[in-house]
Amino acid sequence: MRALFVVMTILLTWTWSDGLLAGDIKGKVKAKGVKHSGDAVIFIDKIPGKTFQPPKEHVTMDQKNLVFIPHILPVVVGSTVDYLNSDDVLHNVFTPDKCAEKFNLGTWPKGQVRSFTFTDPGCASVMLCKVHPEMEAFILVMETPYYAVSEKDGSYTVKNVPAGKHTLRIWHEKLKGESVTVEVPEKGEVIVNFEVKK
């Protein structure tokens, strides 16, 4: 009897954890007026009563061949981003956005990093290089870890979303789309397609 109680307790604890009663949100983004449907961020902005810790490991944004990699980087609030210079030329990362404190990281040699911690939830800040004006990337600060960036064909999967009703939002650097309410099943997946346009 005692053993059965222990097993039941473990099962119940597991059941209520995010790991089990969670489903995936899948779908496609159709982007109108741009070359492809990639680089849209699909995310659950809030789960009432829950907060999420940022990862201990720093997230990396590379500067290679005069390009920021990745172009779109969602991070959980409190995350630190390491800006790596992989080029044999000088870069100077900065952002004009207040929500990222208009930081200017200056210049540093190849192979080295400078870092910034993003603390303002909801911030979508543009990353620019003062030396190479064509370089551009975006960092989005999320309140939850439930997000995905769409592939060029528009496909995306937000994994392990806690079961229940959520507001699913979409962000694109040039286009706009409507938020939708989604009922995530306890197991399996739900399909949500988006259209984003100017």
Instruction: Answer yes or no: are the C-beta atoms of 64 and 86 closer than 8 Å.
Output: yes
For tokens 């995310």, what's the residue?
Answer: 43
- CA torsion sign, 121 to 83 to 59 to 25? positive
Any contact of residue 157 with other proteins (CB under 8 A)?
Answer: no
Listed in sequence order, the residues at least 6 apart from 4 whose beta carbon sits closer than 8 Å to its beta carbon are none
Asked if 115 touches other proteins (CB under 8 A), the answer is: no
Q: Does 108 bind other proteins (CB under 8 A)?
A: yes
The single residue among 8, 11, 131, 191 that binds other proteins, judged by CB under 8 A, is 131
Residue in the block written with tokens 């920021």: 68
> Which CB sits closer to other proteins, 19 or 111?
111
Tokens of 10: 């473990």
Binding residue (CB under 8 A) for other proteins from 2, 109, 178, 181 = 109
37 forms part of the interface with other proteins (CB under 8 A): no
Find out whether 32 and 197 touch, Cβ atoms under 8 Å.
yes
Is 136 or 173 the residue whose CB approaches other proteins more closely? 136
8 A C-beta contact, residue 24 and residue 161: yes
35 binds other proteins (CB under 8 A): no
* 96 binds other proteins per the rule CB under 8 A: no
Amino acid of residue 40: A
Q: Which of residues 132-151 bind other proteins (CB under 8 A)?
A: 132-134
Interface ranges with other proteins (CB under 8 A): 65-66, 85, 87-90, 92, 104, 106-110, 130-134
